[in-house]
Amino acid sequence: MEKKAFQAESQRLLDLMINSIYTHKEIFLRELISNASDATDKLAYLALTDDQIAVDRDELKITITPDQIARTLTISDRGVGMTKAEMEDNLGTIAKSGSLQFKQDMAAKDAGDAAAKSDVDIIGQFGVGFYSAFMVSDHVTVISRAYGSGEAWKWESDGVEGYTMEPCEKDTVGTDIILHIKPDGEEEKYGEYLEQYRISELVQKYSDYIHYPIVMLMHKSRQKPRPEDAGDDYKPEWEDYDQWETLNSMVPLWQRPKSEVTDEEYNQFYKEKYADWEDPLSTVHVSAEGTVEYKAMLYIPSHAPYNFYTRDYEKGLQLYSAGVLIMDKCADLLPDHFRFVKGVVDSQDLSLNISREMLQHTRQLKVIANNLEKKIKNELLRLQKDQRDKYEQFWKAFGLQIKYGLLGDYGAHKDMLKDLLLFWSSKEGKYTTLAEYRGRMPEDQPYIYFAAGESVDKIAHLPQTERILDKGYEILYLTEDPDEFVMSTLGAWDEKPFKSVNDADALPETEEEKSAAEQKATENKDVLDFVKETLGDQIKEARISRILKSGAVCMTSDGPVTLEMEKYFRRMDP
């Protein structure tokens, strides 16, 4: 028998987890079941891609066995199992990078009060799921035999001192996790986790969509049938019996008809799977037939994850084929501009006898990705039209991503994304789409005007806006870095060019205005020369402006690079 200590970092995290952080101890079962399901997926995948491996799919189930007398709860699977080395690596160390993220999330949790529930979600993302077993057990035994290995190993730990390992016997490939449930305390009644009704409740709550049967031998009692010769004084008799029951409904949500899934169920699935404490803004459930058949369930989150605008964020959808997980984050299914979308794609039509890398380039995958891109856009447009509040919430969270998406790939996606844009409208006092602006435009208005600045309030006070507003024209107030680049990438909307209010020719002049201006310039030549001489190279030219009304001076630009763009470049390259 070998005895080893946990790594110091694991030790600390473990203490933290067991003793203070989690209020929802019940999630340990979900974690262990999902590990069992993952292990079963891995085996099923091997079997699908390798003819040498024969797996009887009917055997692929997860068994839960409570024992009230021994006070143990056993979770068994017929998955890939673990070799001795894998047990040491996976159960003896908590990923170092994981602990960092763990702390960041804790900080975020302390900051907001949506937090009370967020503990439920943190677990399972950082390779710490297994350790949740110690929230309800004082001792855990893991017995595992890896696929393709003749030997089995037993791993044991009380979660504090470290763990021991020794060889043992096991008939089948797979893993048994045996929890020695803690004694009941004053407040915590751990015994509930040995009650069959509590267990089936937890499975339904957290693990209903696991696509392998989760079975338990249920101890039940029933009334004996009334004997035919029973007299009037017959008293019904009861008998005990045992019966295997499948606790989960198994059919994944996305395989069920849309009409049979409630919003509650969609939201619940989202929150559990993607570790969010808020409902998604919207769900798109696709059941596609045609060249490629597939089911998809897509979610538009209501807020950006804390790392969304960083390199750490990884886009992608889960890809299943015939109920087997092929890839956890299939990036090719989502264009960058919709990288905030979460969800699942399930298709029988993917050719599976090829490696995962090759799979990314199959034609079927491309077809699915293109369809999904359109579905997402349509859903966003639907929100924009019918649920403007929600759309604005979406825009606050992900508008910047849409703009960067529009600028990316040399503007290749502008037609896909231009309808989604929102800008602040001087006229409406709220966000508007470009189509809405265009619809309100008087016939004689030559341009779609925009003004850029730090905030709506600051822009509203720019002297350059006054003349244009006086004419009754609407101005789009741009407050984000990429906005002006978006304008220049689009160039025009429905044949009306975009125009910065700073442009010298923002308001075309009539003949009279022109000659009046020329005369004014001649009259004031001395002043203009004086300004130019004083400022020298800092300006190109001083001239009498027509774009001002009550303000005395303003800066303008003539070239394609506006003042705000200049500021932006300077910020980027100090």
Question: Footprint of Mg ion on this chain (CB under 5 A)?
Answer: 35, 129
Q: Does 321 bind ligand ADP (CB under 6 A)?
A: no
C-alpha distances (whole Å) from 539 to each of 426, 534, 536, 558 are 30, 10, 6, 12
CA distance 400 to 35: 37
**Closer residue to ligand ADP, CB minimum distance, 144 or 465:** 144
User: Shortest approach of Mg ion to residue 32 CB, angstroms?
Assistant: 8
The DSSP symbol for 17 reads: I
**Closer residue to Mg ion, CB minimum distance, 35 or 502:** 35
Q: Does 451 bind ligand ADP (CB under 6 A)?
A: no
Binding partner at 147 among ligand ADP, Mg ion, none, C-beta below 5 to 8 Å by kind: none
What's CA 280's distance to the chain center, in Å? 9
Q: What is the footprint of ligand ADP within residues 141-200 (CB under 6 A)?
A: 175
CA distance 518 to 513: 9
Residue from the set 13, 36, 202, 380 that interacts with ligand ADP by CB under 6 A: 36
**Closer residue to Mg ion, CB minimum distance, 98 or 162:** 98
**Closer residue to ligand ADP, CB minimum distance, 128 or 476:** 128
Write out the two tokens for 319.
């890809």
CA distance 451 to 484: 9
**Partners of 232 in the beta sheet?**
none
**Closer residue to ligand ADP, CB minimum distance, 14 or 36:** 36
Residue from the set 82, 136, 298, 417 that interacts with ligand ADP by CB under 6 A: 82
Binding partner at 77 among Mg ion, ligand ADP, none, C-beta below 5 to 8 Å by kind: ligand ADP
Q: Which amino acid is at 107?
A: A
Write out the two tokens for 448.
């779609």
Binding partner at 36 among ligand ADP, Mg ion, none, C-beta below 5 to 8 Å by kind: ligand ADP
User: Shortest approach of ligand ADP to residue 143 CB, angstroms?
Assistant: 10
**Closer residue to ligand ADP, CB minimum distance, 123 or 487:** 123
Binding partner at 359 among ligand ADP, Mg ion, none, C-beta below 5 to 8 Å by kind: none
Query: Which regions of 347-464 does DSSP assign to beta strands (E)?
Result: 423-425, 431-432, 448-452
Is residue 1 classed exposed, middle or buried when 0-12, 13-18 and 19+ CB atoms within 10 A define those classes? exposed
Contact status, residue 134 vs residue 14, Cβ threshold 8 Å: yes
* Nearest residue to 42 (alpha-carbon basis) of 50, 170, 247: 50
Q: Does 124 bind ligand ADP (CB under 6 A)?
A: yes
Binding partner at 120 among Mg ion, ligand ADP, none, C-beta below 5 to 8 Å by kind: none
Write out the two tokens for 468.
């244009």
- The continuous run of DSSP H or E covering 463 comes out as helix 463-470
Residue from the set 129, 301, 335, 399 that interacts with ligand ADP by CB under 6 A: 129
Q: Which residue lies nearest ligand ADP, judged by its C-beta?
A: 129
**Closer residue to ligand ADP, CB minimum distance, 81 or 252:** 81
Contact status, residue 162 vs residue 4, Cβ threshold 8 Å: yes
Write out the two tokens for 63.
């068994």
End-to-end CA distance of the chain: 63
Residue from the set 11, 49, 90, 488 that interacts with ligand ADP by CB under 6 A: 90
Residue from the set 92, 127, 305, 316 that interacts with ligand ADP by CB under 6 A: 127
**Partners of 63 in the beta sheet?**
76, 215
Write out the two tokens for 517.
């201006």
CA distance 544 to 521: 6
Candidates 29-37, 336-344, 474-482, 493-501: pick the segment binding ligand ADP (CB under 6 A). 29-37
Residue from the set 18, 29, 33, 39 that interacts with ligand ADP by CB under 6 A: 39
**Partners of 152 in the beta sheet?**
145, 168
Residue from the set 13, 18, 29, 35 that interacts with ligand ADP by CB under 6 A: 35
Contact status, residue 554 vs residue 547, Cβ threshold 8 Å: yes
User: Shortest approach of Mg ion to residue 79 CB, angstroms?
Assistant: 12
C-alpha distances (whole Å) from 301 to each of 91, 105, 186 are 33, 18, 40
**Closer residue to ligand ADP, CB minimum distance, 147 or 398:** 147
CA distance 573 to 204: 55
User: Shortest approach of ligand ADP to residue 155 CB, angstroms?
Assistant: 10
CA distance 556 to 321: 59
Rounded to the nearest 10 degrees, the angle between the axes of helix 388-411 and helix 363-386 is: 140
User: Shortest approach of ligand ADP to residue 98 CB, angstroms?
Assistant: 8
Residue from the set 33, 64, 73, 128 that interacts with ligand ADP by CB under 6 A: 128
Q: Does 31 bind ligand ADP (CB under 6 A)?
A: yes
Count other Cβ atoms within 10 Å, centred on residue 257: 8
Binding partner at 143 among ligand ADP, Mg ion, none, C-beta below 5 to 8 Å by kind: none
Residue count at the site for ligand ADP (CB under 6 A)? 17
Q: Does 282 bind ligand ADP (CB under 6 A)?
A: no
**Closer residue to ligand ADP, CB minimum distance, 157 or 562:** 157
Residues forming contacts to ligand ADP in the complex (CB under 6 A) are 31, 35-36, 39, 77, 79-82, 90-91, 124, 127-130, 175
